[in-house]
Amino acid sequence: MNFDADILDRTMKEKAGARLEMWLSICSRCGMCAEGCHYYASDPRPEHVPSYRIKPLLDLYRRRGKVTMEMLETLRDVCYGTCTMCQRCTMYCPHGIGIAALVHAARGVAAAMGMTPSGLASGLQNALEFGNNLAVTEENFVDTVEWQLEELQQEMPDAEAPMDREGAEYLLTFHPRDIKFYPQNLYNYLKLYNAAGVDFTLSTRAWDSTNLGLFAGDVPAASRLAGNVIAAAEALKVRAVITAE
């Protein structure tokens, strides 16, 4: 597999910055970050120490883009396969190094090179095409909401699940798996909000609470997906968005 050196060079320059370069240079490899990492806690191998995760990115910067495919593959495997970007390691770091930010930058490099893991890339493509990462159509979403509302109304006759209602206080969003695989979770959400008397609405087009662009390191995609929810919230004139997972 070949890679486009121009794209790599441009991406590296976009990701570069004083803070990022400072973090890469001040790590003392003390290993204190390992104490906060659940990867290392469950499998204490050297490559699971958070400070190790910045090494592939550091190597890329030291080489100024003059890298091999093997180096890029190592970067991909480390940044996607050994970190959830939870930031626990930063709490233990005496220098306050933002490992999660560095890992996200590394993922951005991998994404720009077309090296996003296939499962993540597929879900991201679904999100961009359908508005949610499991490719649930608008028709199926509406059918599922109406089905669970009918079930709930047997217990709470006055329950509602308004969709695209302008002027509600809150816009509710969900994880797509709750709609496609675990609709009983949707039932429970609707029951909770109705019982609490919350003034809410659903959006038929922007209801996915996830953002796989963020996880992939694809900033343009992440911005577009976040923008979908923002646009819906502004159009419906809600006060806030509630994310349920």
Distance (Å, rounded) from C-alpha 48 to C-alpha 41?
9
CA atoms within 13 A on the CB side of 10: 8
Q: Is residue 98 helix, strand or coil? A: coil
Taking each helix axis from N to C end, the angle separating 138-153 and 183-195, rounded to the nearest 10 degrees, works out to: 60
Query: Comparing C-alpha atoms, which of 166, 126, 165, 121 is closest to residue 145?
Result: 165
Q: Which residues contact 181 (CB under 8 A, 6 or more apart)?
A: none
Structure tokens at 110: 């991998």
User: What's the gap between Cα 44 and its chain centre?
Assistant: 26
Residues of the chain with CATH 1.10.1060: 5-115
Is the pLDDT reported for residue 1 higher than 80?
Answer: no
What 8-state DSSP symbol labels residue 208? Answer: B
pTM above the 0.85 mark?
yes
Q: What is the pLDDT of residue 245?
A: 65
- Contact at 8 Å (CB) between 198 and 161? no
Residue where the block lists tokens 């798996």: 177
Distance (Å, rounded) from C-alpha 96 to C-alpha 107?
21
Q: What is the pLDDT of residue 10?
A: 80
Provide the mean pLDDT of the chain.
Answer: 94
Query: Comparing C-alpha atoms, which of 170, 207, 168, 167 is closest to residue 186?
Result: 207
Q: Is residue 128 helix, strand or coil? A: helix
One-letter identity of residue 173 = T
Q: Bridge partners of 202?
A: 163, 172
Q: What is the pLDDT of residue 66?
A: 77
Per-residue confidence band for 3, with pLDDT thresholds at 50, 70 and 90: low
- Contact at 8 Å (CB) between 115 and 72? yes
Query: Comparing C-alpha atoms, which of 232, 217, 210 is closest to residue 121?
Result: 217
pLDDT tens digits along 92-130:
999 999 999 999 999 999 999 999 999 999 999 999 999
**Domain 5-115 belongs to what architecture?**
Orthogonal Bundle (1.10)
